[in-house]
Amino acid sequence: MNSIFTEEKPEILIQEDGTRIDGRKPDEMRPISIEVGVLRKANGSAYLEWGGNRVLAAVYGPREVHPRHLALPDRALIRCRYNMAPFSTEERKRPGPDRRSIELSKVIREALLPAVFVERFPNTSIDIFVEILRSDAGTRIAGITAASLALADAGIPLRGLVSGCTVGKVGDWLVLDVGHEEDMWGDADIPLAMIMETKEITLLQSDGTLTPEEFREALDLAIKGCTYVYELQKEALRRPYIAVEKEVKGEE
């Protein structure tokens, strides 16, 4: 019964002049919009739209660890759950963790952990939740970008924000911010995330064949993308305070 959901490979993924299937130039990113503090119960949260992605990230913590025996005596335990909603994909995805989401949960945790001052909260846990409500390629990077803001929103001490981006290889071109079709049928996919202020790379994966030159070029391009994402993250954190200031000034 899955025949009704099969996708067909598009005839042309990228044109000779580098125009991509969604009309973007090779170094053009999809639209991103971010809102911090969208949930009330969570200690910190962020909602992010990136192309067709819709991502909700939330943080609880530091808080008591349950079960107790997992607590670390000298630092906070960082736990992360990446989950795709059943309605996030074309064909409904059965609820619950699968192998992919388990790997991504680990990879996202390892992308965020270096940014957190875990030594400040021994015997506690900091729980990060990334829910993909709608999936459109680059969900782990979108999740990290949102989760980083959720951590800041929760007031958890951070070395800096973690920003991410993907680079792909489609035909002869390296493209920034891989789209859905490029993800399905392109030649390589490289997600990268880093703490921009300290220039430390905290997530790097690659899938596909690249020459060493292509790889280096791809990393440079990804870092350019991360720099752009970082500016958007900072603006999102500042926005509510600036809005309140405008409001108050308007009243006076």
Partner 1 sequence: MKKSASSKAEFFVKDRELVLPGQALAKGSLKPDKGVYVDEEGVVRSYMVGLVEISNERVGVIPLRGGYVPKAGDLVIARIEKMSQRIIFADINSYCKAIMIVPRPEPRRGGRRHSLLAKYEALAPGDVVLAKIMSYDGVSNPLLSIKGEGLGKLVGGSLIMIEPSKVPRALGKRQSMLQVLKQKAKCDIIIAQNGIVWINSNDPKVIGAIEKALRKIERESHLSGLTERIGQLLDSLLGRKS
Partner 2 sequence: MGLEEKISSTLLKEHLLKLAQAGKRKDGRKFDEMRPIEVKEGTFTKGLGEAWVSLGKTQVLTSLKFDVGEPYPDTPDKGVLISNVELLPLASPSFEPGPPDENAIEMARVVDRAFRGSDAIDLSKLVVEEGKLVYILFLDLYVLDYDGNLFDALTLSSLITFTRARIPLVKMGEDGSPKLVEGENFPLPLVDYPLSFSFVKIGEYLMLDPNLEEESVADAALTLAIDKDLNICSVQKRNGTFKLSEINKAVDIARAKYPEVIEQVKKVVDIA
Q: Amino acid identity of 189?
A: D
Are 50 and 32 in contact, with CB atoms under 8 Å apart?
Answer: yes
Residue 121 sits in the site that holds partner 1 (CB under 8 A): yes
Are 179 and 173 in contact, with CB atoms under 8 Å apart?
Answer: no
Among 7, 22, 63, 92, binds partner 1 (CB under 8 A): 63
Q: Amino acid identity of 33?
A: S
Residue (91 or 220) nearer to partner 2, CB: 91
* Residue 42, binding choice from partner 2, partner 1, none, Cβ under 5 to 8 Å by partner class: partner 2
Q: Amino acid identity of 178?
A: V
Residue 211 sits in the site that holds partner 2 (CB under 8 A): no
Are 99 and 122 in contact, with CB atoms under 8 Å apart?
Answer: no
Q: Which range of residues in 15-23, 60-68, 106-114, 219-227 is near partner 2 by CB under 8 A?
A: 60-68
State how far Cα 101 lies from the chain centre: 13
Residue 127 sits in the site that holds partner 2 (CB under 8 A): yes
Site size toward partner 1, by CB under 8 A: 34
Residue 227 sits in the site that holds partner 1 (CB under 8 A): no
Residue 158 sits in the site that holds partner 1 (CB under 8 A): yes
Residue (89 or 123) nearer to partner 2, CB: 89
Residue 91 sits in the site that holds partner 2 (CB under 8 A): yes
